[in-house]
Amino acid sequence: MKRTGKRELHQLYGGRKPKSYLLAHNHVMHTNETHHGERGFRRFWIPPQWVGRGWSKCPCGWHRGDVHYAVTDHVKLWRERIKRLGSLKAAYREINRKLGRHFTLRVCQNPKLENRES
């Protein structure tokens, strides 16, 4: 395999922000209150070269509203949800309802989960 001399760019997890890298998160359903690691939600750093190539500025308000990025399909879903519901706050309410139903159903369908301590 022939080397081209170019370094391959990767997303980076954990640690301090690498110089020039941008804050990003995955596609797991979340609100502004969701923390890294919660229900599979992850934050990481992406190289700036990825913006516009499958990654876009995300309007979800996560991370105290700081500028951050997500996969473009995820960003489109957020924009559509905010437009359909009229505000970011309304989008959070809808997501919280969905998450509440999901976890309530999970506990009801699996009685072992009811007795688990957090």
Q: How confident is the model at residue 105 (pLDDT cuts 50, 70, 90)?
A: low
Q: Which pTM value belongs to this model? A: 0.78
Sheet holding 43-46, edge to edge: 43-46, 22-25, 69-71, 55-57
> What's the domain count of the chain?
1
Specify if 12 maps to a domain.
no
Tell me the average pLDDT across 23-47. 93
Specify if 6 maps to a domain.
no
Tell me which residue range forms the domain holding 65: 22-114
What pLDDT score was predicted for residue 117?
46
64-104 residue pLDDT tens: 889 999 999 999 999 999 999 999 999 999 999 998 887 77
Specify if 78 maps to a domain.
yes
Percent of the chain with pLDDT over 70: 82
Distance CA 55, CA 68 (A): 10
Candidates 28, 76, 82, 88; CA nearest to 44 is: 28
